[in-house]
Amino acid sequence: MEIKIERTPEQVELVKAMASKNREVAFEAQAALGDFIGPVLAEVVNQAPTVSNLFTTLQFNSEDNASIPLDLYHDVGDEDYVQIWSQNAPGGLPTNHVAPRQQEMKFTTYRLDSAVSFDKRFAARSRMDVVSKTFTRIAQEILLKQEKTSASMIMTALANASTNSIEHVMRSHTQGRFLLADLNKLFTRIKRINTAWTGGTPADRRGRGITDLIVSPEIVEEIRGMAYNPINTKGDLTDIPGTDTMRESVFNSAGIPEFYGVSIMEINEMGVGQKYNDLFNLVSETADAGGDKDYGAYGDGTVATTFDEAVEQVILGVDLSRESMLRAVATDSETGAEFDLVVDDQFVSRSQKIGYYGSLEEGRMILDDRVLTGLIV
């Protein structure tokens, strides 16, 4: 991800003016560039293919005492009480509470910010690359904080999720492999989780209950391998490959944007020894009052109980067709902007520096953890 300021005559003059010896001229130029780049940074942050953007954005006025009417985010036939996950501080421990579906929920927001400066001489020499990388750094720091906050909430909710006495996380059929049968069983698990409040079939059952899989590069390797490896899990006479059409589809789309109708998001933070995997292990250790949580054995009978981060990895399944994962973000009452980028006025003349301070106010919550499922491989 990189922000680049084009070297047009107008922008060159604007950057040069930022280093003017006239303090009023310099400040006006710096403020003008901040007003121009601020919406660009907001767009970059909101469009980045990251875990944080699995949440649906809900805007509210920064001067409001914002709340969410829970009944509008649940069907009429849903149960009367729902479990909600939220955080009081960025990166803080997610907490859950049970609330009546008819009430309004006041949510807590927090500020994510970043401050970066550069030498004034770079502006005087029209070094557009330095100025561009300054704003890139601000966006990267905000994204990093959003990622940590989002991953902490999602993994905590996933590790603790249980509906109708059914865990949302299950193990794969075969130890060390991800097969088509695993995704098929995940579809079935989701149907058993998403029932009506009476325990029967919901009136509005739609789709498969999963739209996206967030996986490691190793799992994508397993999917590519289905083009030439057997995929059967039943019978012991012959290894059976997938159909010609399926294998050709996997072979021709080696980038794997989609598999079996489910979008695939490949990120390096997933997988054995990676931070999201370690995070899931950490929260699963505290998910059960009696100790580490038991996620059951593998489908082929291989004995396993608690999650072993040294050899196992978790795959995250999300249903984005339902608005249950929300990111409430404050907008400026005057400009309507989400991201506030202003000149950092802490630097005196002798410091010979130009600085910018960027921030946004947001809060994240999961109104229904039934949109989350997991598979341990």
Strand-pair category, 95-100 with 314-318: unpaired
**How buried is residue 172: exposed, middle or buried, by Cβ count under 10 Å (0-12/13-18/19+)?**
buried
Residue 267 has pLDDT above 50, yes or no: yes
Percentage with pLDDT > 90 across the chain: 36
Residue 290 has pLDDT above 60, yes or no: no
CA distances from 338 to 43, 274, 325 (A): 9, 31, 19
| CA distance linking residue 353 with residue 119, whole number of Å | 5
| CA distance linking residue 81 with residue 367, whole number of Å | 11
The fold for domain 9-158+324-369 equals Major capsid protein gp5 fold (3.30.2400)
Give pLDDT tens digits for 30-69.
999 999 999 889 888 888 878 888 998 888 887 777 777 7
Task: Give the DSSP H or E segment for 331.
Answer: strand 325-331
Q: State residue 164's pLDDT score.
A: 83
Q: Which residues lie across from 291 on neighbouring strands?
A: 288
pTM over 0.85: no
Residue 98 has pLDDT above 90, yes or no: no
- Quick one: average pLDDT of 156-179? 89
Residue 214 has pLDDT above 70, yes or no: yes
Give pLDDT tens digits for 218-265.
998 888 877 766 666 655 545 666 656 666 666 566 656 677 788 889
Domain extents in the chain: 9-158+324-369, 165-321+372-376
| CA distance linking residue 334 with residue 361, whole number of Å | 15
Which residue did the predictor score with more confidence, 336 or 133?
133
Give pLDDT tens digits for 121-135.
999 999 999 999 999
Q: State residue 76's pLDDT score.
A: 47
